[in-house]
Amino acid sequence: MAAIQTTTAGRAPRIPLRMRVQRNLFRWFYYAFVGAIFVFLIAPIAIVIHQSFNGVGYLSFPIQNPGLRWYRDIFGNDVWMRAIRTGLSLALIAAVISTLLGTMAAWALSRVTFRGKSLVLALMFSPIVAPTIILALAFYLFFADLQLIGNKYAIAAAYGVLGIPYSLVTVTAALTQFDPTQEHAAATLGAGPLRVLWHITLPQIATSIFAGFFFAFILAFDEVIIITFLGGGETITLARQMWNSVRYDLTPVLAVAGTLLIAFSMGIFLLVDIISTMRDRRRSG
């Protein structure tokens, strides 16, 4: 008798059938809802990639005569290749500017406390909050007075300002987990400030610095509003060339450019993830 009571007492309580049905229905509804959102987000990307293999001179669904005609066309077209090279060079300069300024600002703001610090942070994050077209107009008025419309370095500087918040966020997040006593220990052992920064601080926040660099790079490479205002008639990036193609020459080559841009962005994010994973494994090992 005692054994039967013990077995009954140790058994998990039976869930009523009605409650089990409700739980299963909720679970399947949740899965269907998440799947619908996923399809809603992925479908436009899939359609762009699908159209890039179209074999005719216009966009059609479904595609006709699938092939790589427009991939060969874009890589053999001087206009598109020049736009790609210009976009890459501007994005690289802008990412360097954003990373340097954002990293220095994060390092300084994480170590000092002063009245008005929240205001300084708000101003540094303002490029994210403010509409891009407002920033583009402000940059245009500023550089127009200096007669720098169309100047590549002026455009890269504008892109660099846009990318500062991304570097600031990633590096600040890394510095909040950094133990400053390591710097104090190195300093007491005779290391100078630059040596402490190079051998102690930077190696531990390098992944976050690279992440901010890549975010700023993608932002500059993909941006179209500022280049429209500041590019003049000669400086044309890939994003601007795509916009011109939408307005004047809507062919599947636009889908090819979009596919390349998607693949490039995904590759960058994958690279950041691989670097971060390898660094975490190295730390844990």
Closest CA relative to residue 206, chosen from 284, 140, 278, 145: 278
Where residue 1 falls among pLDDT bands split at 50, 70, 90?
very low
Q: Note whether 41 and 177 are same-domain residues.
A: no
Instruction: Report whether pLDDT(238) > 90.
Output: no
- The verdict on 145 and 267 lying in the same domain is yes
160 lies in some domain: yes
In the chain, % of residues over pLDDT 70:
93
Domain assignment present for residue 45? The answer is yes
Query: What pLDDT is stored for residue 118 in this prediction?
Result: 81
Domain with 22 in it: 16-51
Q: Would you state the pLDDT for residue 208?
A: 83
Judgement on whether residues 147 and 33 belong to the same structural domain of the protein = no
For the entire predicted model, the pTM comes to 0.77
Q: Are residues 34 and 146 in the same domain?
A: no
26 falls within a domain: yes
3-state helix, strand, coil in the chain (%, to 5): 80, 0, 20
Q: Which residue has the higher pLDDT, 96 or 254?
A: 96
| CATH number, domain containing residue 217 | 1.10.3720.10
Quick: pLDDT tens for 103-139. Answer: 888 888 887 777 877 888 888 888 888 888 898 999 9
pLDDT exceeds cutoff 80 at 7: no
Q: With bands split at pLDDT 50, 70 and 90, how would you rate the model's confidence at 283?
A: low
Answer yes or no: do 26 and 82 share one domain.
Answer: no
- Which pLDDT value is given to residue 12? 56
Residue 206: inside a domain: yes
Judgement on whether residues 43 and 180 belong to the same structural domain of the protein: no
Mean pLDDT along residues 213-230: 89
Let me know whether 260 and 173 are in one domain.
Answer: yes
Q: Which has the closest alpha carbon to 86: 156, 2, 187? A: 156
d(CA 61, CA 50): 9
What pLDDT sits at residue 98? 93
Residues 27 and 100 in one domain: no
Mean pLDDT over 187-201 rounds to: 77
- Please report whether residue 1 resides in a domain: no
Tell me whether residue 59 is in a domain: no
11-62 pLDDT tens trace: 656 777 677 777 788 888 889 999 999 889 888 888 888 888 887 777 777 7
Mean pLDDT of 203-214: 84
**What is the structure's pLDDT at 2?**
46
For residue 139, being part of any structural domain is answered with yes
Confidence grade of residue 97 (pLDDT, cut at 50, 70, 90): very high
As a whole number, the mean pLDDT across the chain is 82
Count of domains for the chain = 2
Domain co-membership, 24 together with 159: no
- Which pLDDT band, with edges at 50, 70 and 90, does 159 fall under? very high
Tell me the DSSP string of 154-199. Answer: HHHHHHHHHHHHHHHHHHHHHHHTS-THHHHHHHHTT--HHHHIII
67, part of any domain: no
| pLDDT for res 10 | 53
Residues 224, 131 share a domain:
yes
**188: Cβ contacts below 8 Å, ≥ 6 apart:** none
Higher-confidence position of 250 and 226: 226
pLDDT at 225 over 50: yes
CA dist 142 → 49, 104, 228, 257, 258 (Å): 39, 25, 15, 32, 32
The residue-averaged pLDDT of 261-285 equals 77
Please indicate, yes or no, whether residues 184 and 239 belong to a single structural domain of this protein: yes
Specify whether 135 is located in the same domain as 35.
no
- Structure tokens of 126? 């303002």
